[in-house]
Amino acid sequence: MNSLTEVVVAIEGAYDILKYLKEKYYIIVATNGPKIATKEKLSKIKCLNFVNEVLSADMFGYMKPKKEFFVAIQNLLKNYNNEEYLIVGDSLKSDVGFAMNCGFDSCWFNKNNEKLMEQYQPTMVINKLEALKKIL
Protein backbone atom coordinates (compact mmCIF):
# COMPACT_ATOMS: atom_id res chain seq x y z
CA MET A 1 0.00 0.00 0.00
CA ASN A 2 2.82 2.41 0.81
CA SER A 3 4.42 2.02 -2.61
CA LEU A 4 1.16 3.13 -4.27
CA THR A 5 1.59 6.59 -2.75
CA GLU A 6 5.37 7.09 -2.81
CA VAL A 7 5.63 9.03 -6.06
CA VAL A 8 2.66 11.25 -6.74
CA VAL A 9 2.68 13.96 -9.39
CA ALA A 10 -0.36 16.11 -9.99
CA ILE A 11 -1.65 16.49 -13.51
CA GLU A 12 -1.16 20.02 -14.77
CA GLY A 13 -4.09 22.16 -13.69
CA ALA A 14 -5.54 19.61 -11.23
CA TYR A 15 -5.37 21.87 -8.19
CA ASP A 16 -6.87 24.88 -9.98
CA ILE A 17 -9.71 22.99 -11.64
CA LEU A 18 -10.68 21.15 -8.46
CA LYS A 19 -10.65 24.41 -6.52
CA TYR A 20 -12.90 25.98 -9.19
CA LEU A 21 -15.27 23.00 -9.40
CA LYS A 22 -15.57 22.61 -5.63
CA GLU A 23 -17.40 25.95 -5.45
CA LYS A 24 -20.06 24.74 -7.90
CA TYR A 25 -20.29 20.94 -7.72
CA TYR A 26 -20.27 17.93 -5.43
CA ILE A 27 -17.08 16.10 -6.37
CA ILE A 28 -16.79 12.34 -6.06
CA VAL A 29 -13.65 10.40 -6.88
CA ALA A 30 -14.83 6.95 -7.95
CA THR A 31 -11.82 4.68 -8.31
CA ASN A 32 -10.90 1.06 -8.84
CA GLY A 33 -7.84 1.68 -6.66
CA PRO A 34 -7.80 1.34 -2.89
CA LYS A 35 -9.58 4.16 -1.06
CA ILE A 36 -6.75 4.73 1.41
CA ALA A 37 -4.14 5.07 -1.36
CA THR A 38 -6.37 7.42 -3.36
CA LYS A 39 -6.95 9.67 -0.36
CA GLU A 40 -3.21 9.72 0.38
CA LYS A 41 -2.43 10.68 -3.23
CA LEU A 42 -5.00 13.49 -3.16
CA SER A 43 -3.56 14.69 0.13
CA LYS A 44 0.00 14.74 -1.23
CA ILE A 45 -1.02 17.00 -4.11
CA LYS A 46 -3.07 19.16 -1.71
CA CYS A 47 -6.39 18.36 -3.41
CA LEU A 48 -8.15 16.16 -0.86
CA ASN A 49 -10.04 19.09 0.64
CA PHE A 50 -11.68 19.78 -2.75
CA VAL A 51 -13.21 16.29 -2.91
CA ASN A 52 -16.48 15.49 -1.16
CA GLU A 53 -16.23 11.70 -1.38
CA VAL A 54 -13.66 9.08 -2.30
CA LEU A 55 -15.51 5.90 -3.26
CA SER A 56 -13.64 2.81 -4.32
CA ALA A 57 -14.10 -0.70 -5.61
CA ASP A 58 -12.72 -2.08 -2.36
CA MET A 59 -15.69 -0.52 -0.55
CA PHE A 60 -18.34 -2.08 -2.80
CA GLY A 61 -16.87 -5.26 -4.24
CA TYR A 62 -17.38 -4.09 -7.83
CA MET A 63 -15.05 -2.32 -10.22
CA LYS A 64 -15.76 0.23 -12.93
CA PRO A 65 -17.11 -0.13 -15.60
CA LYS A 66 -19.67 -2.44 -13.92
CA LYS A 67 -23.02 -0.79 -13.33
CA GLU A 68 -23.13 -2.37 -9.86
CA PHE A 69 -20.37 0.03 -8.80
CA PHE A 70 -22.66 2.95 -9.60
CA VAL A 71 -25.69 1.32 -7.96
CA ALA A 72 -23.61 1.08 -4.77
CA ILE A 73 -22.77 4.80 -5.08
CA GLN A 74 -26.46 5.65 -5.59
CA ASN A 75 -27.42 3.61 -2.56
CA LEU A 76 -24.85 5.46 -0.49
CA LEU A 77 -25.64 9.01 -1.66
CA LYS A 78 -29.38 8.71 -2.42
CA ASN A 79 -30.05 12.37 -3.33
CA TYR A 80 -28.74 12.46 -6.88
CA ASN A 81 -30.34 11.54 -10.17
CA ASN A 82 -28.53 10.36 -13.30
CA GLU A 83 -28.94 13.69 -15.11
CA GLU A 84 -26.74 15.35 -12.49
CA TYR A 85 -23.71 13.11 -13.05
CA LEU A 86 -20.77 13.72 -15.33
CA ILE A 87 -17.98 11.17 -15.30
CA VAL A 88 -14.62 12.80 -16.02
CA GLY A 89 -11.82 10.35 -16.50
CA ASP A 90 -8.79 9.36 -18.53
CA SER A 91 -9.74 5.72 -19.16
CA LEU A 92 -12.02 4.86 -22.04
CA LYS A 93 -12.89 1.46 -20.57
CA SER A 94 -13.18 2.30 -16.88
CA ASP A 95 -14.53 5.84 -17.07
CA VAL A 96 -16.30 6.34 -20.41
CA GLY A 97 -17.44 2.72 -20.40
CA PHE A 98 -18.72 3.17 -16.86
CA ALA A 99 -20.76 6.24 -17.88
CA MET A 100 -22.13 4.41 -20.91
CA ASN A 101 -23.14 1.40 -18.79
CA CYS A 102 -24.93 3.69 -16.33
CA GLY A 103 -26.60 5.99 -18.85
CA PHE A 104 -25.02 9.34 -18.12
CA ASP A 105 -22.65 11.83 -19.70
CA SER A 106 -18.91 11.42 -19.81
CA CYS A 107 -15.93 13.62 -20.46
CA TRP A 108 -12.86 11.77 -21.65
CA PHE A 109 -9.69 13.46 -20.43
CA ASN A 110 -7.49 12.49 -23.35
CA LYS A 111 -4.25 13.96 -22.05
CA ASN A 112 -2.10 11.86 -24.40
CA ASN A 113 -4.13 12.50 -27.57
CA GLU A 114 -4.95 8.82 -27.96
CA LYS A 115 -7.16 7.50 -30.72
CA LEU A 116 -10.81 7.09 -29.73
CA MET A 117 -11.86 3.44 -29.96
CA GLU A 118 -15.14 2.87 -31.81
CA GLN A 119 -16.94 1.08 -28.98
CA TYR A 120 -16.61 4.07 -26.65
CA GLN A 121 -18.64 7.22 -27.15
CA PRO A 122 -17.78 9.97 -24.66
CA THR A 123 -20.17 12.91 -24.55
CA MET A 124 -17.18 15.25 -24.78
CA VAL A 125 -13.39 15.08 -25.01
CA ILE A 126 -10.80 17.40 -23.47
CA ASN A 127 -7.02 17.27 -23.38
CA LYS A 128 -6.44 19.93 -20.68
CA LEU A 129 -8.28 20.00 -17.37
CA GLU A 130 -8.93 23.73 -17.58
CA ALA A 131 -11.26 23.02 -20.53
CA LEU A 132 -13.81 21.84 -17.95
CA LYS A 133 -14.41 25.49 -17.03
CA LYS A 134 -15.76 26.15 -20.53
CA ILE A 135 -17.96 23.07 -20.80
CA LEU A 136 -19.54 23.06 -17.35
| pLDDT value at 1 more than 70 | no
**Residue (of 71, 128, 131, 125) closest to 103 by Cα position:** 71
Of the pLDDT bands very low, low, confident and very high (cuts 50, 70, 90), residue 4 is low
Give the Cα separation of 37 and 45 in Å (integer): 13
Domain count, the chain: 1
Span 85-102, average pLDDT: 94
User: Which residue would you say has higher pLDDT here, 8 or 89?
Assistant: 89
User: Which residue would you say has higher pLDDT here, 81 or 118?
Assistant: 118
Give the Cα separation of 29 and 50 in Å (integer): 10
Domain of residue 50, CATH code: 3.40.50.1000
Span 97-118, average pLDDT: 94
Range of the domain at 107: 2-135
Give yes or no for a contact between 131 and 21, defined as CB atoms under 8 angstroms apart: no
